[in-house]
Amino acid sequence: MAARTLTGKEIAEHNTRESCWIIVHGKVYDVTEFLPEHPGGSKIILKYAGKDATAEYDPIHPPNAITDNLPPEKHLGSVDLSTVQKVEVEISDEDKARQLRVSQRPPLSEILNLHDFEAIARQVMTEKAWAYYSSAADDEITIRENHAAYHRIWFRPRILRNVTNVDWSTRILGQPSKLPIYITATALGKLGHPDGELNLTRAAGKHGVIQMIPTLASCSFDELVDAAVPGQSQFLQLYVNSDRAITQKFVQHAEKRGIKGLFITVDAPQLGRREKDMRMKFEAEDPAEVTDNKVADRVDRSQGAARAISSFIDTGLDWEDIPWFKSITKMPIILKGVQCWEDALLAYDAGLAGVVLSNHGGRQLEFSRSGIETLVEVVANLKEKRGLTFPNEKFQLFVDGGVRRATDVLKAIALGATAVGVGRPFLYAFSAYGQDGVERALQIFNDEFEMNMRLLGARTISEIVPEMVDASSIHQHIVSVPTDRLYDSNYESMQSARLREI
Ligand code: 173
């Protein structure tokens, strides 16, 4: 259809369930037939029927969600935004209370560690955003184990070494990094802050660390690459599309734009159950659509925003696809979400550049072991079966999940990791304080590294060796470990179902 320019008045007439047009980023869409399909429910779209829905749409959709889901004949054209009446957004009492809490945030100088960001973020984020970021699979045992596993490893520091100068910079996949950590991929950054993942890109550029750009970022891929400063390295996290042509185009575009590593997520053929998030969605449901204890129309909304935007992910992804990935790109390919040594060995034998030992921040398979525990068996078995030693330039090991302190990172490095991915703490940092928060988080890591390297007797990353840790209890899941009061006070218990108010 030839692109038309419509007026706000014309669009405003299509404000019913029978004919529903909406405006997103100056473009007009006929979503009438899509209403019952919308995983977020029809109510929220109808609220913006005939109006500009951009502000509501942005935080919970990747930039191309609408164009990917609506057939081209439903793209009606553009609108002259000056002819569109502004939507009066009602500020709820809960929102007013939240705004007050935002104004009560302590200055960044009072934020002393990464736990502090989480404590503040929880109070200033919208309930929806908090539920989405903080939630994890099933009974949330795994998310807590990720952090607790680090408590089962203790140091064996060396003394009487001249530690006047210590240097914790390193190289990750050949790229320089000021810290042995990278900012790992997390979806939907605009839920936490209007600038979304740009907060991470900008802070990473200033502090010389590498950001892994998520497939499901709220900001567009090119926006995040454009925001990088000269010399700033970025990686890409890839969800593989059932339509391989789309994936091929995306991967090759990323390579052209200078992305330095392709991290293919392999632990999420289906999304885990995140009940804090699900409960939030259920409570947000239109009572008119919920009858006889079941949701009226045919769409399963149980996974809210995440389900809506994850339906493209290919459940058929298989080891046999690896040669194809290698044929379409020269970027180093890393599998993200490996959970046992057997698969790490297959990845090595397939000629890949590395693996991320991860259980997806405890959001996927409940009772999948922590990355740090898996690291120990991967290092042992790849040594025994392929004679590899770690860290290894040619096959790099990464872990993520549960990291809150530089000591956590130092343990992983000692055990053979090249670097460690940090996700939620940076989300909480920008949700509470924007880019400044992320910069402060990186500064805290720097301060902690400097001190802990001195106390450990390691002057460079290469001096952090396996003999500096005792990980003999890592596989013991029933030992009691000292509880971490800061972590535990942030952890928000799950809730059981409640009677509805009548
Ligand atoms: O953990 C996640 O929430 C995640 O990876 C995801 C996957 C698909 C859609 C949105 C988020």
User: How many other CB atoms are found less than 10 A from the CB of residue 279?
Assistant: 17
CA distance 235 to 140: 29
pLDDT at 293: 42
Q: Which ligand 1 atom is the nearest neighbour of the CA of 214?
A: 5
pLDDT above 70 as % of the chain: 94
Distances (CA, A) of 254 to 210, 215, 237, 248, 260: 15, 11, 11, 10, 9
User: What percentage of the chain's residues is helix, strand, coil (to nearest 5)?
Assistant: 45, 15, 40
175-177 and 170-172 beta bridge pairing = antiparallel
Question: In the prediction, which pLDDT does 292 show?
Answer: 43
Cβ of 125 closer than 6 Å to ligand 1, yes or no, is no
Least confident of 94-108, 227-241, 297-311: 297-311
Q: Dihedral angle at the C-alpha atoms of 363, 202, 414, 388, nearest 10 degrees?
A: 80
pLDDT tens for 271-309 read: 999 999 888 866 555 555 544 444 444 445 555 557 667
Ligand 1: centre distance to CA 9 (Å): 38
For residue 35, pLDDT over 80 is answered with yes
Give residue-wise pLDDT tens across range 335-350: 999 999 999 999 999 9
- Mean pLDDT calculated for residue range 114-142: 96
Question: What was the pLDDT predicted at 170?
Answer: 98
User: Of the ranges 369-378, 393-402, 411-420, 475-484, which one carries the lowest mean pLDDT score?
Assistant: 475-484
Tell which atom from ligand 1 comes closest to the C-alpha of 271.
7
The answer on pLDDT for 55 being more than 90 is no
Region 175-189 average pLDDT: 97
Angle between helices 127-134 and 424-456 (to 10 degrees): 50
pLDDT in tens, 452-496: 999 999 999 999 999 999 999 999 997 777 789 899 999 999 887
Q: Which of 132, 140, 216 to mutate to test the pocket of ligand 1 (most atoms within 8 A of CB)?
A: 216
Q: State ipTM.
A: 0.95
Q: Pick from 327, 356, 308: which is nearest to 62 by CA? A: 308
Supply the pLDDT for residue 296: 42
Q: For residues 324 and 46, what is the distance between their CA atoms, to the nearest angstrom?
A: 43
Position with higher pLDDT, 461 vs 2: 461
Token readout for 416 is 């053979």
CB of 305 closer than 6 angstroms to any ligand 1 atom: no
Per-residue pLDDT for 40 more than 80?
no
143 lines ligand 1 (CB under 6 A): no
User: Which segment of 28-37, 170-179, 298-307, 398-407 scores lowest on mean pLDDT?
Assistant: 298-307
| Lowest mean per-residue pLDDT among 213-222, 223-232, 300-309, 415-424 | 300-309
For residues 31 and 21, is the Cβ–Cβ distance under 8 A? yes
Ligand 1 centroid–CA 314 distance in Å is: 13
Distances in Å between the Cα of 406 and the Cα atoms of 167, 449, 484 are 13, 6, 15
Q: Residue 125 and residue 127: Cα distance in Å, rounded?
A: 6
* pLDDT at residue 174 in the model: 98
Residue 317 in contact with ligand 1 by CB distance below 6 A: no
Q: Is the pLDDT of residue 70 over 90?
A: no
Contact 428, 119 (CB under 8 A): no
The pair phi, psi for residue 19, each rounded to 5°, is: -150, 105
Query: CB under 8 Å to 322, separation ≥6 — which residues?
Result: 333, 350, 352
Q: Measure 271 CA to ligand 1 centroid, in angstroms.
A: 7
Mean pLDDT across the stretch 65-84? 87
How many angstroms does the Cα of residue 187 sit away from the middle of ligand 1?
Answer: 6
254-260: average pLDDT: 98
* DSSP structural state of residue 351: T
User: Ligand 1 within 6 A of 187 CB?
Assistant: yes
Question: How far does the centroid of ligand 1 lie from the alpha carbon of residue 38, in Å?
Answer: 17
Catalytic residues: 239, 267, 360
Q: Which amino acid, one-letter code, is at 290? A: V
**pLDDT for residue 303:** 58
What's the mean pLDDT when you consider all of the chain? Answer: 92
Is the beta carbon of 137 within 6 A of some atom in ligand 1?
Answer: no
Res. 208 pLDDT band, cuts 50 70 90: very high
